[in-house]
């Protein structure tokens, strides 16, 4: 039977009639997953109903006021690991990982970037060597958000150094509690440490933790990366919400800060924010037809540029007051808090938006080549075995 808004509302009502939201939070979330009301576009039995993606908005509205998942803490699991596991995982892997991922019982991190492989991710050097039914992993990852509280990590490692860089990679689920996994904090200009270095020394992973075929890691990673860019830059925002809303609220509440120049800049950024919001809505509608494509790179690119411009305007508009900083205490943060911190924090943290999830320079190449169809840049290392590349 095809599902529509009314049918989904009836299912949520029936669920709430049998499950008290005031009871145990975790049991409520587990039951919601089992009822197929976690992410309705996922298959039945895996937290979904096999329904159109747009019906998720209906579900979220109906569950207002009930226990919720922690999107900030679970961003990587929900937005990157889950769609990759769904696309490439075995039935056993889907059954094992998706439920505790969605409920937040198990937090995930992303083990992709390395000190020598950031924008050019395919040059990564972390090695995974097969030993019977296990893989022995050695290497270093960097800029790993939330590794300090993660149970699992999505990992790309090199399994064949004798072939060109894109073809020698394999994708794994890494046990972050395994012997040989060491997590060290990276303190940021904001004072906190949401990022980490992760050192992998003789880490043994069972072959049952491999996602996709051996040597097919680059293709699997593309699913993660495309979903990552949508998760960062394509989330739903109400009109006048997000960063533009914060700046506009200050403008309305503080008339003594206004100048003709600031007014013009704010209007231009308001228009840009609205265009970005509507483009994001169109992108999410396109997602109903399948996996995200390179268009998500354009959304993330716009998000980064807009966030940096708005946070800069916010600081400038406040004059000397904008130079103050609320708290530089070193701490291990759980998530990025753009709306609970001051303008100085937002200004500094926004600098990372053009780096994380793909640098703006790389994203412009993706948009140029894969969206606009422009000629590719010359790549002299395309057919060269990875072990022969200069590093």
Read off the pLDDT of residues 378-389 as tens digits, 9 standing for 90 and up: 888 888 999 998
**Which contacts (CB < 8 Å, 24+ apart) does range 286-291 have?**
287/53, 287/230, 288/41, 288/52, 288/53, 288/54, 291/83, 291/87, 291/223, 291/226, 291/227
Q: Nearest to residue 316, comparing CAs of 354, 267, 265, 272?
A: 265
Domains along the chain with CATH numbers = 5-68 (no CATH), 108-216 (2.40.110.10), 221-372 (1.20.140.10)
Encoded tokens for 372: 């606009």
Write out pLDDT tens, residues 308-360: 999 999 999 998 898 889 888 898 887 777 788 889 999 999 998 898 877 88
Tokens encoding 98: 């998706």
> How far is it between the farthest Cα atoms of the chain?
71
Burial per residue of 267-297, b for 16 or more beta-carbon CB atoms within 10 angstroms, e otherwise: eebbebbeebbebbeebbeebeeeebebbbb
Please tell me the predicted confidence (pLDDT) of residue 300: 84
Count of Cβ atoms closer than 10 Å to residue 199 Cβ? 16
The CA distances from residue 49 to 87, 94, 254, 285, in Å, are 16, 15, 48, 18
Q: Which of 68, 156, 69 is nearest to 109 (CA)?
A: 156
CB 102 within 8 A of CB 145: no
Choice among 62, 114, 228, 295 that is catalytic: 228
The percent of residues above 70 in pLDDT, for the chain, comes to 95
Residues 6+ apart with CB under 8 A from 340: none
Mean pLDDT of each 10-residue bin along the chain, 391 residues long:
85 96 96 96 94 88 95 90 96 98 97 90 96 98 94 98 96 98 95 94 98 97 80 68 91 93 95 89 66 73 92 93 88 79 92 85 87 86 88 75
Instruction: Please give the pLDDT value at position 272.
Output: 93
Q: Which pLDDT does position 308 carry in this prediction?
A: 95
Q: Which pTM value belongs to this model?
A: 0.88
The answer to whether 320 is a known catalytic residue is no
The string of DSSP codes covering 224-280 is: HHHHHHHHHH-----TT-HHHHHHHHHHHH-GGG--HHHHHHHHHHHHHHHHHHHHH
Q: Rounded to 5 degrees, what angle do the CA atoms 237, 355, 375 make?
A: 95
CB 172: neighbour CB atoms within 10 A?
25
CA torsion 177-183-188-190 (nearest 10°) is 40
| Backbone phi, psi, residue 254, to 5° | -125, 75
Nearest CA to 189 among 55, 40, 369, 350?
350
C-alpha to C-alpha distance for 352 and 118, rounded to whole angstroms: 14
A 10 A CB-CB count for 344 gives 21
Q: What pLDDT is attached to residue 235? A: 62
Query: What is the phi-psi region of residue 174: left when phi exceeds 0, alpha when psi lies from -120 to 50, beta otherwise?
Result: beta
Query: What pLDDT score was predicted for residue 119?
Result: 78
- 8 Å CB contact between 197 and 141: yes
pLDDT at 229: 65
- CA 208 distance to own-chain centroid: 24
User: Exposed, middle or buried by CB within 10 Å (0-12, 13-18, 19+), for 320?
Assistant: exposed
Dihedral class, residue 258 (left if φ above 0, else alpha if ψ from -120 to 50, else beta): beta
């Amino acid at each position: 039977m095809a599902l529509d808004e009314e049918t989904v509302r009836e299912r949520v009502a029936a669920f709430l009639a049998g499950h008290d939201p005031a009871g145990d939070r975790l049991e409520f979330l587990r039951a919601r997953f089992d009822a197929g009301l976690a992410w309705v576009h996922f298959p039945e039995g895996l937290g979904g109903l096999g329904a159109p993606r747009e019906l998720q908005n209906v579900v979220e509205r109906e569950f207002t006021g009930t226990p919720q998942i922690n999107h900030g803490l679970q961003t990587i699991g929900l937005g990157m690991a889950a769609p990759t596991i769904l696309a490439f995982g075995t039935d056993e892997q889907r059954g094992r990982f998706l439920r505790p991922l969605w409920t937040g019982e198990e937090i995930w991190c992303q083990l992709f970037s390395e000190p020598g492989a950031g924008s050019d991710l395919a040059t990564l050097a972390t090695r995974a060597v097969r030993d019977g039914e296990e893989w022995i992993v050695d290497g270093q990852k960097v800029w790993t958000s939330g590794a300090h509280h993660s149970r699992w990590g999505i990992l790309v490692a090199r399994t064949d150094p004798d072939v060109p860089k894109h073809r020698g990679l394999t994708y794994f689920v890494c046990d972050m509690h395994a012997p040989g996994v060491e997590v060290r904090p990276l303190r940021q200009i904001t004072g906190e440490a949401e990022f980490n270095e992760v050192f992998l020394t003789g880490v043994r992973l069972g072959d049952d933790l491999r996602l996709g075929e051996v040597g097919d890691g680059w293709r699997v990673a593309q699913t993660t990366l495309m979903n990552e860019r949508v998760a960062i830059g394509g989330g739903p925002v109400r009109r006048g919400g997000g960063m533009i809303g914060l700046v506009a609220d200050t403008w309305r509440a503080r008339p003594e800060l206004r100048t003709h120049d600031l007014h013009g800049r704010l209007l231009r950024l308001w228009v840009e924010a609205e265009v970005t919001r509507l483009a994001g809505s169109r992108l999410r509608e396109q997602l109903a037809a399948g996996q995200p494509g390179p268009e998500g790179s354009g959304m993330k690119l716009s998000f980064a540029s807009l966030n940096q411009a708005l946070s800069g305007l916010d600081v400038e508009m406040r004059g000397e007051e904008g130079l103050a900083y609320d708290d530089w205490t070193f701490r291990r943060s759980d998530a990025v808090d753009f709306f609970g911190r001051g303008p100085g924090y937002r200004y500094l943290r926004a600098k990372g938006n053009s780096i994380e999830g793909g640098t703006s320079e790389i994203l412009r190449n993706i948009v140029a080549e894969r969206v606009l169809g422009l000629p590719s840049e010359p790549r002299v290392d395309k057919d060269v075995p990875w072990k022969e590349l200069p590093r």
